[in-house]
Homo-oligomer: A and B are copies of this chain.
């Protein structure tokens, strides 16, 4: 599936704004941030290894949904991407993940202290980018971004807690994903409309669209974490099972009350790293207990729910079509 032009068209605009904003960081944290964002390599030489900048694209689109220019959304687009980058910098340390977007994670290159401080600096800078504009819309956007950041952090806390529990219910796991993934995507989908001081109804439906799309995105990400190719995910094969992550398809399977559920629970509770055979058996058990089909169908249901928010929002049909294209793209199984 090709990348929708809505994602690529604003990239240069956002990239320029992000680089200009990062100039405000002190040199020590800027170095970490430039590497983490894919602008430089380990030695500070220019590189081009950035992510797909999905959240900024959504932010720009949300200003257009409110009839404003993309530029209106620019501080919001940069701020949500910086919050996203902050969370990845810190999460990689906490989760012990050594690889991010096919490269060594920042904390493995610069050390944990630099990655902690780089994340802190990005969180503070993102707030500053919004608050320095003294409009009502900027205050609204800053409030929404802070609330989303709080949910992101609470979701990460829940996620870490799950790793130490063997009784995680599916509802809890969905609530965790709504916090950890849904909240910031919902903010990205609406922050441009807030900066443009668009109608509350539009902002509400954009937020709803983003929350549903975020859950669909997480479900697909969890499917790829088990059955995705390392080329596509940038992570080793069966990585999530290797780490015994309580991802959504796994938690569904564990709670399905089937013989496969009990066998999977036993493999998840076993000590030491799982063998290759165990990993393959775990993947088979998640599928046999219905985790794969459920996650796939649930993602489709969430995409449909996201689409209804677009329909109810009263926004221009062409902009709604662009939102829909992005939702289908990020929840497609083949990227």
Interface check A132, CB cutoff 8 A: yes
Q: Are A160 and B117 in contact (CB under 8 A)?
A: yes
Bound-state CA distance A25–B158 (Å) is 12
Interface check A139, CB cutoff 8 A: yes
Given A127-B127, A139-B131, A146-B127, residue A117 in contact with residue B29 (CB < 8 A): no
Report the contact-size class of chain A (Cβ under 8 Å from the partner).
35 or more
**What string of 1s and 0s marks CB contacts (under 8 Å) between A102-131 and chain B?**
000000000011101101110111011001
Residues on B with C-beta less than 8 A from A123 are: 120, 123-124
Q: Are A28 and B157 in contact (CB under 8 A)?
A: yes
Bound-state CA distance A125–B143 (Å) is 11
Bound-state CA distance A131–B147 (Å) is 10
Q: Are B153 and A128 in contact (CB under 8 A)?
A: no
Minimum CB–CB distance from A55 to chain B (whole Å) comes to 17
Minimum CB–CB distance from A179 to chain B (whole Å) comes to 9
Minimum CB–CB distance from A119 to chain B (whole Å) comes to 8
Residues on B with C-beta less than 8 A from A160 are: 28, 113-114, 117
A147 interface neighbour in B28, B128, B142, B154, Cβ under 8 Å: B128
Given A94-B113, A124-B149, residue A143 in contact with residue B131 (CB < 8 A): yes
Residues on B with C-beta less than 8 A from A156 are: 117
Bound-state CA distance A146–B138 (Å) is 14
Bound-state CA distance A142–B142 (Å) is 10
Beyond the given A26-B157, A117-B156, A117-B160, could you list 20 further A-B residue pairs with CB under 8 A, ordered by the A residue number?
A: A24-B150, A26-B153, A29-B153, A29-B154, A29-B157, A90-B117, A90-B120, A93-B116, A113-B160, A117-B153, A120-B123, A120-B153, A121-B153, A123-B123, A123-B124, A124-B150, A124-B153, A127-B127, A127-B146, A132-B143
Given A28-B160, A131-B142, residue A112 in contact with residue B113 (CB < 8 A): no
**6 A/B residue pairs, CB under 8 Å, sorted by A:** A26-B154, A28-B161, A29-B153, A117-B157, A119-B120, A121-B154
Q: Are A113 and B93 in contact (CB under 8 A)?
A: yes
Q: Are A146 and B121 in contact (CB under 8 A)?
A: no
Residues on B with C-beta less than 8 A from A119 are: 120
